[in-house]
Amino acid sequence: MTVIVRIAPSPTGKLHVGNIRTSLVNWLFARKAGGKFVLRLDDTDTERSTEEFARGIETDITWLGLTYDFFAKQSDRSAVYEAVAERLKATGRLYPCYETADELDRRRKRQLAAHKPPIYDRAALSLTAAERAEFEASGRKPHWRFRLDGRQVEWSDLTRGPVHIDTTSLSDPVLVREDGRFLYTLPSIVDDIDFGITHIIRGEDHVTNTGVQIEIFEALGATLPTFAHLALLVGVGGEGLSKRTGALSIDELRRDGIEPMAINSLLAKIGTSDPVVPRAILDELIADFEMSHIGRAPAHFDPAELRALNHKLLHATSYEKVAARLIELGVPGGVAFWDAVRDNIVVLSDARIWWDVVAGKIEPVIEDAAFTAEARSLLPAGPFNEETWHEWSAAVSKKAGVKGKALYMPLRLALTGQPHGPEMRKLLPLIGPERAARRLSGQAA
């Protein structure tokens, strides 16, 4: 059996790290098994779905390297869903209901007041043909509900183990709206059947839905896929993540300069006991992926942890892999510059800050003009190399009689304008003798 998984985002907002974690787990699971990964846009919500969000989803998935083998949009398959709905109507599993939203709301309130569960009472099943005709003559159009068996639905979940859902405690789900539009449930199941999806891996907020969906799968005579429900990803404070607020969206992280493999490296291991280490390529994540390592407790996503991982990833990245991007940033410093600054940047755009320090015009910070003047008088003529800083600072120390921070900090401030940064033995050759001399004199250079 070829493993086939899918992710099915709705283009009603931006993908956030929770969506991407689920997508990544699906992708790793499929690739580890030599299977296929399907991207499907569940765009039946025509009021909120937009082409902009749809393009954004494809951009995010592609940027992260999660290549897909097949792409589909539910908006292209309406005729297929119509045919399946007619089959269910013919067998009596899909039945028309004429209650308005207000009537249903009042009914729920009466049930709650009577300490009864607020589930649909199937009143529509008792309607006579004449009563249905009367409703339609008055202008009412039916919505259509799937008649549940009302039983214990059981399955073995890859992450949760044995699961039992009692569908007698659930309302018959609405599958088709009054205007004929489908809610996501039926199109999702039909697509899963038609595309041969073998494993459905999604968030644990779908556990109850799965009980309902299994009954629909069975009503359509389909083979059940294997289910896995992942504990949800939450924020540092335990708050949920929403794609509609844009919180921690992949688009936002990309604009902030976070590397795709930093995101992949963290999300592949979050919620497991495995160590989180920066990986350079997805193949490394595939090799050590194990679904059984994913725990059931909610996993907390910390942006600070992601930024720290991004820093580690860039520190381990060779110049050749970032050369073109550095040029785009206006940083033509080459290998020597990258080796000097890569341990002091969190995101790649930070390199521009240090390029301005070594090659641009800065305001030097002069704490003691006499000291920096003396240091300037001892500055070698050049050319500079990585030994220059040690030799020069030793000469300054001997002449001025200072050591440690009292020696190094005034020199750093004068040469870079910054109290912290890359090693001066690497920066000084990049700054060069002429610019260094001017800065030690207090000139902006």
CATH code for the domain in which residue 89 is found: 3.90.800.10
**Over the stretch 274-316, which tens digit does the pLDDT of each residue have?**
999 999 999 999 999 999 999 998 888 999 999 999 999 999 9
Take residue 161 and report the two structure tokens written for it: 């183990």
Task: Say how far apart CA 345 and CA 351 lie, in whole Å.
Answer: 7
As a whole number, mean pLDDT of residues 21-25 equals 97
pLDDT at 247: 57
Q: How far apart are CA 40 and CA 200, in angstroms?
A: 13
Residue 233 belongs to what H/E stretch?
Answer: strand 233-234
Helix ranges restricted to H, 73-229: 78-90, 101-113, 129-137, 185-194, 207-219
Do 325 and 385 lie in a common domain? no
State mean pLDDT over 438-443.
92
Q: What is the mean pLDDT of the chain?
A: 94
Average pLDDT for 389-407? 93
Which residue would you say has higher pLDDT here, 248 or 85? 85
Contact status, residue 93 vs residue 219, Cβ threshold 8 Å: yes
Tell me which residue range forms the domain holding 233. Answer: 1-72+185-316
Q: Quick one: which H or E segment has residue 176? A: strand 174-176
Please indicate, yes or no, whether residues 191 and 312 belong to a single structural domain of this protein.
Answer: yes
235 and 104 within one domain: no
pLDDT tens-digit map of 36-49: 999 999 999 888 99
Show the tokens assigned to 296. Answer: 């059931």
Asked whether residue 411 carries a pLDDT value surpassing 90, the answer given is yes
CA separation for the pair 312, 271 (Å, rounded)? 20
Question: Same domain for 139 and 96?
Answer: yes
pLDDT attached to residue 245: 46
Asked if residue 374 belongs to a domain, the reply is yes
CA 13 to chain centre: 13
Count other C-beta atoms under 10 Å from residue 139's C-beta: 6
Note the pLDDT tens digit of each residue in 312-353.
999 999 999 999 999 999 999 999 999 999 999 999 999 999
Residue 445 in any domain: the answer is no
Model confidence at 397: pLDDT above 70: yes
For residue 65, count CB atoms less than 10 angstroms from its CB and return exposed for 0-12, middle for 13-18, buried for 19 or more: middle
CA dihedral (186, 191, 192, 197) in degrees, to 10, reads 180
Domain assignment present for 295? yes
Q: Let me know whether 189 and 309 are in one domain.
A: yes
Query: Do 375 and 417 belong to one domain?
Result: yes
Nearest to 415 by CA among 432, 398, 400: 432
Number of structural domains found in the chain: 4
Same-domain pairing of 13 and 29: yes
Instruction: Specify whether 332 is located in the same domain as 233.
Output: no
> Has residue 386 got a pLDDT over 80?
yes
Whether 242 shows a pLDDT value over 90: the answer reads no
Q: Average pLDDT, stretch 121-145?
A: 95
Longest dimension (CA), the chain: 108
Last residue of a domain, one of 176, 206, 230: 176
Residues 353, 290 share a domain: no
What's the rounded mean pLDDT across residues 231-252?
75
What totals of helices (H) and strands (E) does the chain contain, helices first? 19, 12
Is residue 220 exposed (0-12), middle (13-18) or buried (19+ Cβ within 10 Å)? middle
Q: Which of 145, 176, 207 represents a domain boundary (last residue)? A: 176
**Res. 270: pLDDT tops 90:** yes
Quick check: 222 and 232 in contact, CB under 8 A?
no
- Note the pTM of the prediction, 2 decimals: 0.91
In tens, the pLDDT along 102-121 reads 999 999 999 999 989 999 99
Mean pLDDT of 430-439: 95
